Amino acid sequence: MEAAAGRGMEAVARSSERAGAAMRSRAEVDATLQTAKLNPAELLPAVHCLSFGPQAGGGECCLLQLEPGLCAELEAGRSLIIRGEKDEHAVLCSKDKTYDMKIADTSNMLLFVPGCKTPEELKADQASCNIIHSQIAGFSKNYWELRRCRPKLKKLRTLLMEDPYEGPDSQKDQTSTFSKYTTEDLLNLIQASEEEILHQLQVIDACKIEGYWRILDFDYEMKLLNHVTQLIDSESWPLSKVPLCACLEELGSLEPRQMIEHVLLSYGRKYVDDGEVFFEMHEDKICRAIAQMLLQNAVKFNLSEFEEVWQQSVPEGMTTRLDQLQGLALVDRSLRPETIFLLKVEDLPEDNQERFNSLFGIREKWTEVDITPYIQDLCAEKQTVGALLTKYARSSMLNGVKVYNSRRPIS
């Protein structure tokens, strides 16, 4: 807080600094104001006479500029946490948001004065002493600015993929030397708020096994999903009403019940009907997973052949569509025959410029429809895909279609 109740207090502060901690009289204050060529009638009658305390020094305190919402959180007793390792740019996290931190310099000296009253408080307190002697506890010429930013969540998946869970019988899981992570570990390592981290754990279908967060190995996940879809088919259950208890009873001898329920939660919506738990299976997500299984071992796949094999591979009653593969696979219609290949958005860089460099390295020109699934997650709050493209790409027309290419040479 700047220690001034009105114009002219800087002169008083400088004079007080020279005079040390001596108590000053009204006459001395008036003389200082006259030297500064200030009219006392234009100022509030109360005057702060400032002197540096014995422990006052620069660099010992940091100022943080907070928006009203964050101030309210602190006043309510909640914490704000600075997160980041030595090689990372620090971020500040509330319970549910993440902010970039940047030092801002100011031309004015900012003084820390405990108990200092603002002009508004002095106006409200008419009984204030005419001369208020205050000690400066510290000072600074800069402060931390906060700007809302996207949580840095790519590292979360990277850490959990170091040791994916391959099932209870996996020898690898029993002998692995990789670290496993609790919620507390992830809060210390990931630059995001607690709510953002927990939400992302749901998005990537992580599950807690013996107190540690794990991602299922994709082959093991497909094995579990295959058990469930085969049971649905053999029992002729509608995809909108798959009973949890029956699944656990029938498949419990093949796989741990926790894993059966986890795959149902990952590929379905849980609900209760007449006291019994059911799942409505997500057709799009199941079709997408099976497409990934087909594409993961091929560099490129003939598009028409892939579509035929894909439709034959999904459970009966499900219909495959290419729009189910947004952010997972890319179709190349410039080749003959047309091809499709695996390109997962989670494998791309998290930094905006690096993401665009990577995409333009894969394909020189993109339509907005094709590139949108691969940059949508980069959009900041209230930012659109169009705004991102304007900043990082150059548009042109190709055969009557608007396409985007890089603004800078790609090596």
Burial class of residue 40 in the structure, from the number of CB atoms within 10 Å of its CB (0-12 exposed, 13-18 middle, 19+ buried): middle
Q: CA angle, corner 380, sides to 376 and 381, nearest 5?
A: 115
Mutual angle of helices 283-295 and 257-267, in 10-degree steps: 100
Average pLDDT score over residue span 69-82: 92
Quote the distance between the C-alpha of residue 174 and its chain's center: 33
With bands split at pLDDT 50, 70 and 90, how would you rate the model's confidence at 356? Answer: very high
Average pLDDT over residues 367-390: 93
**Helical (H) or strand (E) element with 397:** strand 393-398
What is the strand order of the sheet 81-83 is part of?
81-83, 91-93, 98-112, 138-148
177-224 confidence digits (pLDDT tens): 788 999 999 999 999 999 999 999 999 999 999 999 999 999 999 999
Above 80 in pLDDT, residue 332? yes
What is the average per-residue pLDDT within 144-153? 93
- In single-letter form, the type of residue at position 15 comes to S
Q: Given the structure tokens 């741990």, which residue do they identify?
A: 256
CB 245: neighbour CB atoms within 10 A? 10
pLDDT score of 294 more than 90:
yes
Q: Is the pLDDT of residue 407 over 60?
A: yes
Asked if pLDDT for residue 405 goes beyond 50, the answer is yes
Asked whether residue 124 carries a pLDDT value surpassing 90, the answer given is no
Q: Taking CA 354 as the corner, what is the angle to CA 352 and CA 357, rounded to the nearest 5 degrees? A: 110
pLDDT digits (tens, 9 = 90+) for 224-238: 999 999 999 999 999
Distance (Å, whole) CA 400 – CA 411: 28
Place of tokens 């002009």: 119
More confident residue, 171 or 159: 159
251 Cβ neighbours under 8 A, 6+ residues apart: 227, 228, 231, 260
Burial (0-12, 13-18, 19+ Cβ within 10 Å), 299: exposed
Confidence check: pLDDT of 39 > 90: no
